[in-house]
Chains A and B, each alone.
Chain A
Amino acid sequence: MSRGQRLVTQRLVTLGGAPAEEASKPEAAGAETDGVETGPPARGRRYWRSLERLRDSPAMAAEGRLPEELRPEFAAGADLPPDAVTRRTVLGLMGASMAMAGLAGCRRPEEAIVPYVRAPENVTPGLARHYASTFPLAADALGVVVETHDGRPTKIEGNPEHPASQGGANAWAQASILHLYDPDRVPRPQLRQRHTVAAGGDDPAVEVAAGEIADGQQAGGEVEPAGGGHGAGRDGGAAVTDARQGASATTWGDFTTFWQGRAEALGGDGSRLAVLTGDGASPTVERLAGELEGRFPGLTWVAYDANAADTAGSAPALHHLDRARVVLALDADLFLTEPGAVAAARGFARGRRVDENGDGEVNRLYVVEPTPTATGGSADHRLRLKASQVAAFARAVAAEMGVSASAGDAPQSDSPQPDSPPPETQQLETQPPEPLPQLALDAVPVIAADLRRAGSSALVAAGRRQPPEVHALARGLNRALGAEGTTVTYGPGPRGGGSAGGPAAAFADLVTAMRGGEIDTLVILGGNPVYSSPADLDLAGALPRVPHVVYLAHGWDETAAHADWLLPEAGWMESWGDARAADGTASLVQPLVAPLFDSRSAAEVVALLAAGEERPGYELVRETWMGQLGGDAAWRQALHRGVLPGAAPAGGTAAGSGGEAATETATTETPATETAAAATAAGETAVAETAVAEPENAAAAEAPAEGSSLAATSPAEDHAEAATASDSAGHAAPAVAAAGWAADPGAERGSPAGHQPKLDLELVFSLSPSVFDGRFANVAWLQEMPDPVTKVTWANPALVSPATARRLGLEDGDVAVLYHAGRRVRIPVVAQPGTADDTVVVELGYGRRGAGRVGDGVGVDVGRLRTSAAPWIAPAAGLAATGESFALARTQEHDAMEGRHLVREADLGQFRRDRRFTERFEVDVEKVTNLWEEPGYDGPHQWGMTIDLNACTGCNACVVACQSENNVPVVGPDQVRKGRELQWLRVDRYFEGDGDEARPVFQPVPCMHCENAPCEQVCPVAATVHDEEGLNAMVYNRCIGTRYCSNNCPYKVRRFNYFNFTKDTPELVKAAMNPDVTVRSRGVMEKCTYCVQRINEGKAAAKRARRRLADGEVKTACQQTCPAEAITFGDLSDADSAVSRTKRSPRNYVLLAELNNHPRTSYLARVRNPNPDWPGYHQVPLPPARPAAGPGEGSVGAGSRGDGAHGDGAHGGEGGH
């Protein structure tokens, strides 16, 4: 620790010290929940960052802070010299560069200006253009506006006119820029001699399974625990799934010829043709599917997304949180991973505006969930409950309200029967059903009463991983409440189910048909089903039995390894298309750039299949919509606005196709039969073994479903081509990979019984808030984006509750073996406060093998534990410690601010009694006399920002938006471990409450732009200085890298380039850079600039138009994308500006006001709206009111010194203390 740093720390201690004599809150776990009043904490709520900090420090418990020795101000390693480069090398380089500096300076490099040959109309060089388009994501879509510079897309914003976006966007939309410029995309069509299996013959799959086992053993386990990111963590199996192997480039013309031949061979009926699509939300593709069916009436068309909610065929519910007063979320991550999350977060935040609506109603959110999510953090009451118990909880609420489960089943009558659950669940229920915990039982009547009070403004939402029963209960409750039509409407029913049991059953049928040799040609339109479909169906094992597999792929992914025709898919930014949002709003996808590769869109491929010749996507999309639009003018208008007029179906209870529970059908298709270690014997055909494995010895079992389905396979007729294909040398790859799912090397090795854990945990899968279902695994921004709650980057640890971790003897970062359904993976564990006991939560989307240079081998593929019977919530999982540990790249301890009153919260009642409650948290200090001459702020604008903690859901969209806007590099897991992540904006996550019951609280922290900035005072070269408008500017060219500024920054928002992180950026990825922002090099400090480039562009546009810059015209990237409108930015010198208004809010406070820094960024304190009837509820008292703080309003921050330049009444105080 440098001397300067110590001085600063001491200064902070002196200033920030809490009065020690005040009584502290005793360590009584669950004091809040079991209703025992244990004496109020004198300083209000306690917030903590991690269990270590809570546990290891009695001092912190007493004082709310850690003793100094436990408080590294910087993460360990932050002050280490850069490794990989020694000091000697640096000196050598310095010498050389000094010597060459003169030479290089003599003549600058020649630069070319390359104008168009024929300039396109309406393109003005130097000005960015914005186009409306649509970002499709699974069965959802977000209207976006894309910024392009000289024809290349660089930034995504939400489209304010699109109902699903309303101007906001999520992290995935932001990051889809990097998805477009993914250097690991398939560049042109590929043809491969593939190894296919003639049904009934020897089964090479089994042979290669054994081969892979050997590989796996060499690599020391089937799945490395994680994210080495670059090279590390790839196992032996990775090589054999390389989709590039044996593939040779071909052309679309060749494919067309192939298809024409194929179409003839398939005959008029086409019953041996199947099409499998992942995301099924494009009306044009649906229309063309109809055309294709017209040509091949026997066609099997399956639209299957393994991660869609299973509502058993009924229409998905659409939630309108803007109209909701009381919301009960049943394991529903409404604000992040559920469909329509952007609009939901926005609507909910609007119902929370306590300033405008101080005495009116404020909405209330109850969340019942197994592990904390972004939504749980926003909850007024969060109930931690095992995922499998959510159904019982919902039943209890329904019973309390007199609603039967079947009340929600209409419009279709034959809806899920809760009494016939899938076998695995049945197994569980033969054991005595676990009773709901007392807290949950007590909460039921309270919630029911509150819902009833709200009536039609109440909303019950069920999450995607909950079984159909819970969706039906939610529907019934909403109907009983009269909420249908107000807070809930129903979207269009699921599409393309194919068979009666819904998409999952249709998919299972398809796999069975493939296995039976009934499919001759399979066309897969994106979606990477080999990776994402349940492991027990073993799609990879069935694909070699299909003679012709055509795959339209983004990259060389897991499915690509099994296709003989690999066609590059055009992304949404480079092709014409359309998409439907979850709420049914249809909008057009218009390309912003010509395809970067020789690629086609899904619609174009389906059209090619239907017509036998290529047709341009533009015409296809126009054909779909021209009938409705009527004319060219309407078409252009729709393109311009990004929304089709009247395309959203009216809300209502659209009837979905009836059907039985999909899971049930799927289960009957592939029962969880486990053939004991059959596959280990090479060449031996697996026998159909029907013994149902006991959970306890499941780990010793092998290759579920594999044996039975292989044995059932009947010889196929036309496998002549397949036979020739098998001669090729390159064929081994797909076959080996085919066995990859089923083959479990660990099982083959046979763990001694003593090492097997009791399978007494519940396994819960969740979609990743970072990489979604794995499709964004090669997007580095998302990999490095810390998980909202765990703050883990570059990995997907298994989450257990702290109590369960203690029971299992596991600590954060310990690698454990996770057993389920006869398979196992090695995975690092994190003890996550707020997780239900005896539950292990794992994130899908990691452990990719075919994602590309970024995503391969990052994290663990937990999808291989997934079964079609219980795809989301599965009983009978076990965790066993291995004694190894894995260094998680986790940001939760980085840049900590030591428990001062950074997050401020009050209950609604407290807020109404004392609207200026934030002042109670201020620290008394002597009036500090400034040693420096204070800069005058006399510019025409005075920029400032407020962040409303009441709205923030911690979703991270702002983090990625900032990264995209400001060319912030990605540093990789090793650097993150050393605390060198570069994101300019971080979202701090604190926990509030005790131990296991903790609730996350989020606080985004950008640069505060202090008026009296500590960083400026210590820079020896004036590389960080202020401008007249209050921006704390960073001059990269002056910076010599002393890092004093970062040392002296109390908010820890400065980031240092330890390496030249952009040096090796592939040429293609460079196109994603914002040309308006300097790309920084090594040795330079950087930080949030308040998006100075946007300020300058806004001013320039106003000047060109000869008007004054209007309020709201300049939006920072974080502000613009925030789904919850939590961030307000603008001109403080304009008393009517939005930011001035929010600064006048009584909730306004700044961080560390006692340091006399006068930050321009301030926060609006959170006001929770708890239900006083909640079991065990007691109001956490606020700190005592402070004596009158003088004539001022007590707020500090921008303009607070009342110097007249831009002060107004609210800002007139003398700093407030």
Chain B
Amino acid sequence: MAQIFSRSVNRAPALLAATAAVVALVAALGVWWFFSPEFIDVGYQPEQPVAFSHALHAGELRMDCRYCHYSVERSPVAAVPATSVCMNCHQLVGRDLESLAAVRDSLADEQRIRWVRVHNIPDYARFDHSLHLEAGIGCSSCHGDIRAMETVTQVEPMSMGWCLECHRDPARHRRAGEELYDTAWTPPEAPLSDEQTQLASRLAEDHPVAPPTISCSGCHQ
């Protein structure tokens, strides 16, 4: 009786095992790499209940960030504006716009608008907007160039590693004054200019990235 399997098949189990190992490794590496916040979260752009355009308001009209996000300098939270803030202008401007119906209804019916959160830091991590501004870290460091965005998109991974990267060497991200709210601001490349080094060290003196920077309890509680 003839052999059903040829001799070459003898190598099959070994090959299969090797292939499986490679596949598993690739899968593991793939999950490790591609399921990270950098790939999962960056680019998150949910649809919002109101088609609000930062590009129009903050970009074209040059509205200050703090007009709406009024608590950013004194609270951990940069407030999302109340409906009444929107209507400050929109009772005069664009009164009949279809896209603003939800906002008008909100005020009329006392119904809150449910915005979808884009930048989400887990509840077990403490993040404080006001302290970052105080220390010379502006909006764009985390939120990117919001003024250019029609719909807000997450541009940074907002993972712990990403936080720590900056916390370990914040010098090139420090800035002062109006640059804090200039969303087009990008950090200078190394080597840093003398001016930037001076600014950074001055800010570092006033607002050291106080330890614990690497310790868990600095941010987790």
Q: Does B9 have its Cβ within 8 Å of any Cβ on chain A?
A: no
List the one stretch of B54-62, B103-111, B138-146 in contact with chain A: B103-111
Q: Does A1033 have its Cβ within 8 Å of any Cβ on chain B?
A: yes
Q: Please measure, in the bound complex, the distance between the C-alpha atom of A263 and the C-alpha atom of B75, giving whole angstroms.
A: 54
Across the interface, which residues of A come within 8 angstroms of B116, CB to CB?
Answer: 110-113
- Whole-angstrom distance from the CB of B56 to the nearest CB of chain A? 20
Known: A940-B211, A1027-B211. A127 touches B74 (CB 8 A): yes
Which parts of B74-124 form the interface with A (CB within 8 Å)? 74-77, 79-85, 106-107, 110-117, 120, 123-124
List the one stretch of A978-986, A1097-1105, A1139-1147 in contact with chain B: A1097-1105
Q: Does A1092 have its Cβ within 8 Å of any Cβ on chain B?
A: yes
- Whole-angstrom distance from the CB of A642 to the nearest CB of chain B? 25
List the one stretch of A117-125, A696-704, A735-743, A1190-1198 in contact with chain B: A117-125
Q: Does A249 have its Cβ within 8 Å of any Cβ on chain B?
A: no
Which parts of B173-221 form the interface with A (CB within 8 Å)? 206-207, 210-212, 215-218, 220-221
Q: Does A115 have its Cβ within 8 Å of any Cβ on chain B?
A: yes
Number of interface residues of B (CB under 8 A): 46
Across the interface, which residues of B come within 8 angstroms of A106, CB to CB?
Answer: 35, 40
Q: Are B79 and A125 in contact (CB under 8 A)?
A: yes
CB-nearest residue of chain B to A150: B77
Q: Please measure, in the bound complex, the distance between the C-alpha atom of A80 and the C-alpha atom of B50, giving whole angstroms.
A: 54
CB-nearest residue of chain A to B48: A113
Q: Please measure, in the bound complex, the distance between the C-alpha atom of A110 and the C-alpha atom of B123, giving whole angstroms.
A: 14
Across the interface, which residues of B come within 8 angstroms of A116, CB to CB?
Answer: 82-84, 112
Which parts of B128-144 form the interface with A (CB within 8 Å)? 128, 130-131, 134
A113-B114, A115-B79, A1104-B130 known, 9 other contacts, Cβ within 8 Å: A112-B116, A116-B112, A124-B74, A127-B77, A1027-B211, A1029-B215, A1037-B124, A1089-B221, A1103-B134
Checking B115, B216, B221 against A113 with a beta-carbon cut-off of 8 angstroms, the contacting residue is B115
Q: Are B74 and A112 in contact (CB under 8 A)?
A: no
Q: Are B134 and A1104 in contact (CB under 8 A)?
A: yes
- Whole-angstrom distance from the CB of B121 to the nearest CB of chain A? 11
CB-nearest residue of chain B to A117: B83
Q: Please measure, in the bound complex, the distance between the C-alpha atom of A127 and the C-alpha atom of B112, giving whole angstroms.
A: 21
CB-nearest residue of chain B to A1075: B123
Q: Are A940 and B210 in contact (CB under 8 A)?
A: yes
Which parts of B19-62 form the interface with A (CB within 8 Å)? 31, 35, 40-41, 46
Q: Does A114 have its Cβ within 8 Å of any Cβ on chain B?
A: yes
Which parts of A61-99 form the interface with B (CB within 8 Å)? none
Known: A1036-B124, A1077-B221. A125 touches B71 (CB 8 A): yes
Q: Does B66 have its Cβ within 8 Å of any Cβ on chain A?
A: no
Q: Please measure, in the bound complex, the distance between the C-alpha atom of A106 and the C-alpha atom of B35, giving whole angstroms.
A: 7
Q: Does A1026 have its Cβ within 8 Å of any Cβ on chain B?
A: yes
Number of interface residues of A (CB under 8 A): 46
Q: Does A939 have its Cβ within 8 Å of any Cβ on chain B?
A: yes
Across the interface, which residues of A come within 8 angstroms of B215, CB to CB?
Answer: 1025-1029, 1031, 1033
Known: A126-B75, A1033-B215, A1096-B126. A117 touches B210 (CB 8 A): no
Q: List 20 A-B contacts (CB under 8 A).
A: A102-B31, A102-B35, A108-B120, A115-B80, A117-B106, A117-B107, A117-B111, A118-B82, A119-B81, A119-B82, A124-B71, A125-B77, A127-B75, A1027-B215, A1028-B212, A1089-B221, A1095-B217, A1096-B218, A1103-B131, A1104-B134
A contact set with B: CB distance below 8 Å:
102, 105-108, 110-119, 124-127, 938-940, 1025-1029, 1031, 1033, 1035-1037, 1075-1078, 1089, 1092-1093, 1095-1096, 1099-1100, 1103-1104, 1106
Q: Please measure, in the bound complex, the distance between the C-alpha atom of A118 and the C-alpha atom of B111, giving whole angstroms.
A: 10
Checking A111, A118, A125, A1095 against B117 with a beta-carbon cut-off of 8 angstroms, the contacting residue is A111
Known: A105-B35, A114-B112, A115-B83. A1035 touches B220 (CB 8 A): yes
Known: A111-B116, A114-B114, A1096-B221. A1027 touches B83 (CB 8 A): no
- Whole-angstrom distance from the CB of B50 to the nearest CB of chain A? 12
- Whole-angstrom distance from the CB of A934 to the nearest CB of chain B? 16
Across the interface, which residues of A come within 8 angstroms of B216, CB to CB?
Answer: 1025, 1027, 1033, 1035
Q: Are B106 and A1089 in contact (CB under 8 A)?
A: no
Checking A110, A1078, A1104 against B220 with a beta-carbon cut-off of 8 angstroms, the contacting residue is A1078
Known: A111-B116, A940-B210. A1078 touches B84 (CB 8 A): no
- Whole-angstrom distance from the CB of A1023 to the nearest CB of chain B? 9
Known: A1027-B216, A1078-B123, A1092-B217. A126 touches B131 (CB 8 A): no
Q: Are A1078 and B131 in contact (CB under 8 A)?
A: no
Q: Are B112 and A115 in contact (CB under 8 A)?
A: yes
Across the interface, which residues of A come within 8 angstroms of B77, CB to CB?
Answer: 125-127
- Whole-angstrom distance from the CB of B31 to the nearest CB of chain A? 7
Q: Are B221 and A1028 in contact (CB under 8 A)?
A: no
CB-nearest residue of chain A to B212: A1027
Across the interface, which residues of B come within 8 angstroms of A1078, CB to CB?
Answer: 123-124, 220-221
Checking B35, B81, B123, B217 against A1027 with a beta-carbon cut-off of 8 angstroms, the contacting residue is B217
CB-nearest residue of chain B to A1022: B216
Known: A115-B112, A126-B77. A1029 touches B107 (CB 8 A): no
Q: Please measure, in the bound complex, the distance between the C-alpha atom of A927 and the C-alpha atom of B93, giving whole angstroms.
A: 79
CB-nearest residue of chain A to B125: A1078
Checking A118, A127, A1029, A1103 against B211 with a beta-carbon cut-off of 8 angstroms, the contacting residue is A1029
- Whole-angstrom distance from the CB of B79 to the nearest CB of chain A? 5
Across the interface, which residues of B come within 8 angstroms of A107, CB to CB?
Answer: 40
- Whole-angstrom distance from the CB of A18 to the nearest CB of chain B? 38
Across the interface, which residues of A come within 8 angstroms of B83, CB to CB?
Answer: 115-118
Across the interface, which residues of A come within 8 angstroms of B81, CB to CB?
Answer: 115, 119
Across the interface, which residues of A come within 8 angstroms of B106, CB to CB?
Answer: 117
Across the interface, which residues of B come within 8 angstroms of A938, CB to CB?
Answer: 211
- Whole-angstrom distance from the CB of B157 to the nearest CB of chain A? 13
